[in-house]
Structure 1
Amino acid sequence: MNSQEPNFNVTEWIASQHCKAMDNKPIEIYVFIDPLCHDCWSIEPVIKRLQIEYGKYISFKHVLGAKLSALNKMKNVRVESSPANLQPSFKPEGRRSSESPVSTPYNASIAIKAAGLQGRRAGIRFLRKVQEMLFIEKMNISDLDILYECAKGAKLDTAEFVRDFASASAAKAFQCDLKITSEMEVAELPTLVFFNHNIEEEGIKISGYYSYEIYKHILEEMLGGLPEPAEPPEVEEFMKIFRLASSSEISSIYKMSHQDVEREMKKLVLRQLVQKISGTKDTYWKIID
């Protein structure tokens, strides 16, 4: 499968995309992730906080990568679906499995790119829903019914999602991501690459998962000083925007103790706005639709 036309040049493509993103914001961050990678999910609170505090200055572009072993398994894989059989066939007794999730991110990755064809925000909502299903609900996100449920949960046009999932466009978009990952020599996931408005300058690549302060320091260097961070919205509004959050990230963003977070979130539970989900390492709060 060709990821793009034969003369496709990744460097030129990045430059063209970069120019579009730089119209209003001086910094663009490429976020290289594998949807099955726990560290790639763990970095989401960092992305959210950067978005809240410095969203006036930065934009984000998620690029899907995969570890070499997973990519090798994908070489001869094709999407085992069509618009007809992607329709949900509910099997509640089989939806939660004791088996480990699939080792290849192919179906999930194609689905994420299909969701992104409905817009960048739609793609990010879908990505976060997929990660929620995998890491909290322990679902097999290679299952097409689960992906369909993710599309519904992310408020996508499900008919359009079904068509795009089975189309060449989503597959080509994913192959393009893999090509960018390769040519930018991204060997570890997650990786964040910071670009400024001068596309002739190289980006600053941060491989792996670090504390928020590290990424903020990079932003300070690239902006030549750190602007005053924006105040976060009210916690209720924050939950409506992001729909799922851990106690730890709420504590970090709002500079609250875990006891204060628990107290604040219980108010929203009593108002039936959120529900509490107990995890192995943290407590999560999810908006109630």
Structure 2
Amino acid sequence: MNDKQYKTESIIHPKQTCTKKSIELYVFIDPLCKPCWDFSTLLKKFHLEYGQYFSSTYVPVNRYYTTKKLLEKRPSHLSFVWEKTASRSDILCDDHLWIDNKELYPYYSAIAIKAAELQGRIAGVNYLKKLQEYYFLLDYDITDKEVLIQCAREINIDINEFIEDLHSPLSIKAFQCDIKVTKEMNITEIPSVVFFNENIEEEGLKINGFESYQTYVKILELMHREKLIKRDLPDLLEFIKFQPFVTINELSTIYEKTNQQIELELKKLILLRKVKKIVQEENIYYQYFDSQSIV
């Protein structure tokens, strides 16, 4: 395989975590970046079909100012963001800055992810997904403290602990660590993924930017050094049942069907009262219809 075809680059393992599966992915994303939201769908498919071979560590990177008062996204050079954030993150524990310093708002969502992660890796991943749903599907301001707390409440983690950790030195330290790892791995495009195998002495492979699904499959097979066994996807209804919200585009990506095909299947499920369609302003999404919840 020609590595240059996939824009790969050799990377030294940061030696921060213990890989439980044979392959570990470091996934660098901006929670408020639309391409990263699209990439999260692709990564969901990757986990469904090949998740038995790898685990994922998410590293949030903020490269945009995205408060509701600054709706026009202004990209910043990542190296500038690193230095600016690193110089300020020591004072983020000051409770007054949460309200008073508007310039720090873009970083709060990343720190909130770290606060949730203190309750376990799965809690961190679930919180990230909920944060993206609030932002992209429900159009909430996820730099608002109360919204961040509501996200935590919905994924059923300890709320009191989460609120305390929002301003904890541990969360700030974890955030600073992410900045350091991002810088050490020379991440210049978001999203980016770095693959490492279980031997941390060997170099990993970095894929810059958003590539095709088969690119990630081929890199995984290269790192695993054996033929991969692809798992079957769950039935459409079964998948929807365990998702808070789904969109037609998301389902089209995961099931590799056209939007028209997915829409037809959803209409059938709606008629069977298995799924409900929700329209919120310009957004359309679908949710599992739980008849038992109806009184």
Using the size of structure 1 for normalisation, the TM-score is: 0.78
Q: CA RMSD in A?
A: 2.9
Please give the alpha-carbon distance, in whole angstroms, between the structure 1 residues aligned to 2:186 and 2:53. 26
Bigger shift: 187-196 or 248-257? Answer: 248-257
Please give the alpha-carbon distance, in whole angstroms, between the structure 2 residues aligned to 1:193 and 1:279. 37
Structure 1 portions without partners, runs of 5+? 1-10, 87-100
Amino-acid identity (%): 39
Count of residues in Structure 1 that have an aligned counterpart in Structure 2: 257
Report the Cα offset of residue 274 of structure 1: 4.3
Instruction: Please state whether the residue corresponding to 1:228 is helix, strand or coil.
Output: coil
Please give the alpha-carbon distance, in whole angstroms, between the structure 2 residues aligned to 1:261 and 1:102. 42
Bigger shift: 214-223 or 203-212? Answer: 214-223
Report the Cα offset of residue 159 of structure 1: 1.5
Instruction: Rate the CA distance shift 1:140–1:73 in 2: closer, same or farther, 3 A.
Output: farther
Report the Cα offset of residue 263 of structure 1: 2.8
Report the Cα offset of residue 62 of structure 1: 0.3
Report the Cα offset of residue 168 of structure 1: 1.1
Please give the alpha-carbon distance, in whole angstroms, between the structure 2 residues aligned to 1:236 and 1:245. 11
Please give the alpha-carbon distance, in whole angstroms, between the structure 1 residues aligned to 2:210 and 2:112. 25
Structure 2 portions without partners, runs of 5+? 1-11, 64-77, 291-295
Say whether the 8 Å CA contact 2:241–2:287 is kept in structure 1: no
User: How do 1:53-132 residues align onto structure 2 when only pairs under 5 Å count?
Assistant: 53-67=49-63, 68=78, 69-71=80-82, 74=85, 75-76=87-88, 78-79=92-93, 81=95, 104-132=105-133
- 1:5-25, Cα deviation, whole Å (9 max, x unpaired): xxxxxx78x3251xx223xx2
Report the Cα offset of residue 216 of structure 1: 1.2
Please give the alpha-carbon distance, in whole angstroms, between the structure 2 residues aligned to 1:168 and 1:287. 39
User: How do 1:6-17 residues align onto structure 2 when only pairs under 5 Å count?
Assistant: 14-17=14-17
Instruction: Rate the CA distance shift 1:219–1:264 in 2: closer, same or farther, 3 A.
Output: same
Please give the alpha-carbon distance, in whole angstroms, between the structure 2 residues aligned to 1:117 and 1:141. 19
Instruction: Rate the CA distance shift 1:106–1:73 in 2: closer, same or farther, 3 A.
Output: same
**Structure 2 residue aligned with 1:36:** 32
Report the Cα offset of residue 255 of structure 1: 3.6
Report the Cα offset of residue 129 of structure 1: 1.3
**Structure 1 residue aligned with 2:19:** 21
2:278 to 260, 276, 279: 276
Please give the alpha-carbon distance, in whole angstroms, between the structure 2 residues aligned to 1:286 and 1:63. 29
Instruction: Rate the CA distance shift 1:142–1:174 in 2: closer, same or farther, 3 A.
Output: same
Instruction: Rate the CA distance shift 1:163–1:273 in 2: closer, same or farther, 3 A.
Output: farther
Say whether the 8 Å CA contact 1:70–1:103 is kept in structure 2: no
Query: Which of the pair has the greater relative contact order for Cα pairs under 8 Å at 6+ separation?
Result: 2
Please give the alpha-carbon distance, in whole angstroms, between the structure 2 residues aligned to 1:226 and 1:246. 32
Please give the alpha-carbon distance, in whole angstroms, between the structure 1 residues aligned to 2:284 and 2:226. 35
Using the size of structure 2 for normalisation, the TM-score is: 0.76
Say whether the 8 Å CA contact 2:62–2:107 is kept in structure 1: no
Say whether the 8 Å CA contact 1:164–1:170 is kept in structure 2: yes
Say whether the 8 Å CA contact 2:42–2:253 is kept in structure 1: no
Say whether the 8 Å CA contact 1:30–1:61 is kept in structure 2: yes
